């Protein structure tokens, strides 16, 4: 009797071609964007030599500087709020016995992932417009609140996954040694949960930094973030300066992910 061979997707006809075609279609536009960020000329289609002209132009542009600082401030604040809220929600939904309504709470926390972002943006616009009329306040608090609310499920998922994979032995041992719930959390659960919290914070930070739709609906005049500034520039005239900003965005994301990988590897 012949031995049944295990199914391997990589051995299927055409798999290599489809994989290469997929990678080609995904990364060719990114590669073109990065290459033309170093174009010496003003054209987005004609190569005129290698130059850092557009990187210097973007770095010296005061509007780019203001938008970048504003994006970083909003992303840090929103990610911190979202990570704290997500950590508490993850603990509340994992360190408890199953009960009726737990699944509903899990779905409710992840609701922003299921609802189209444009719907969330319009809803926030309606609510915040009334609050602005009542209070007269039109600062960055609305953007931070909107980004934090939208980023909670992105921070929640890695934190919950980390909690579900953690062994409860050490927490039970701490309880047996008369540690209070707070001390057990502080000295046992939190150190073990730290990689999940870092992952959740980084994911929320990147999502907030990159958001366009919600920001475009919620922001007031003079509150452009870097993505909305880039969108505005593309509406007026296409410039390699936008390519340079996008390239820096890409480099920052790669560095962030690489640093997180090495930090986790060292801790492991």
CATH of the domain at 157: 1.10.3720.10
Rg of the chain in Å (alpha carbons): 23
What total of structural domains would you count in the chain? 1
Cα–Cα distance measured from residue 268 to residue 260, given in angstroms and rounded to the nearest whole number? 12
Give 101 or 137, the one with higher predicted confidence: 137
Neighbouring residues of 226: CB distance < 8 A, sequence distance ≥ 6? 64, 67, 68, 70, 71, 209, 245, 249
Domain assignment present for 189: yes
Task: Tell the residue number behind the tokens 């707070």, with chain if given.
Answer: 182
Domain assignment present for 54: no
Domain assignment present for 230: no
Q: What is the pTM of this model?
A: 0.82
Full DSSP string of 40-99:
SSS-SSS---B--HHHHHHHH-HHHHHHHHHHHHHHHHHHHHHHHHHHHHHHHHHSS---
Question: Can you give the residue range of the structural domain that contains 75?
Answer: 62-221
53 φ, ψ (degrees, to nearest 5):
-55, -45
Q: What is the pLDDT of residues 141-168, one digit of tens each?
A: 999 999 999 899 999 988 888 888 877 7
The pLDDT of residue 1 is 46
The pLDDT of residue 268 is 52
Q: What is the pLDDT of residues 173-206, one digit of tens each?
A: 877 777 777 887 887 888 888 888 888 898 899 8
Domain assignment present for 89: yes
Cα–Cα distance measured from residue 261 to residue 253, given in angstroms and rounded to the nearest whole number? 12
Q: How many CA atoms lie within 13 A of 124 on its CB side?
A: 25
Domain assignment present for 78: yes
Domain assignment present for 152: yes
For the chain, give the mean pLDDT. 83
Q: What is the pLDDT of residues 50-96, one digit of tens each?
A: 888 889 888 888 888 899 999 999 999 999 999 999 999 988 888 77
Domain assignment present for 11: no
Domain assignment present for 164: yes
């Amino acid at each position: 009797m012949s031995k049944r061979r295990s199914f391997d997707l990589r051995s299927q006809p055409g798999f290599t071609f489809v994989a290469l075609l997929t990678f080609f279609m995904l990364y060719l536009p990114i590669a073109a964007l990065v290459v033309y960020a170093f174009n010496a000329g003003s054209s987005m289609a004609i190569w005129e030599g290698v130059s850092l002209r557009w990187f210097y132009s973007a770095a010296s542009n005061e509007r780019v500087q203001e938008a970048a600082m504003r994006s970083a401030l909003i992303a840090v604040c929103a990610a911190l709020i979202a990570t704290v809220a997500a950590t508490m929600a993850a603990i509340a939904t994992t360190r408890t016995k199953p009960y009726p309504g737990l699944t509903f709470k899990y779905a409710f926390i992840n609701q922003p992932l299921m609802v189209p972002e444009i719907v969330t943006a319009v809803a926030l616009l309606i609510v915040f417009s009334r609050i602005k009329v009542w209070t007269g306040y039109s600062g960055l608090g609305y953007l931070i609140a909107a980004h934090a609310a939208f980023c909670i499920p992105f921070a929640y998922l890695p934190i919950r996954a980390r909690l579900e994979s953690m062994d409860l032995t050490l927490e039970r041992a701490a309880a047996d040694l008369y540690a209070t719930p707070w001390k057990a959390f502080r000295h046992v659960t939190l150190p073990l949960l730290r990689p999940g919290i870092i992952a959740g914070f980084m994911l929320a930070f990147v999502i907030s930094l990159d958001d366009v739709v919600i920001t475009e609906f919620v922001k007031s005049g003079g509150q452009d973030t870097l993505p909305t500034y880039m969108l505005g520039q593309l509406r007026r005239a296409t410039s390699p300066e936008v390519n340079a900003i996008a390239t820096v965005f890409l480099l920052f994301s790669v560095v962030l992910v690489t640093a997180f990988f090495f930090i986790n590897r060292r801790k492991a």
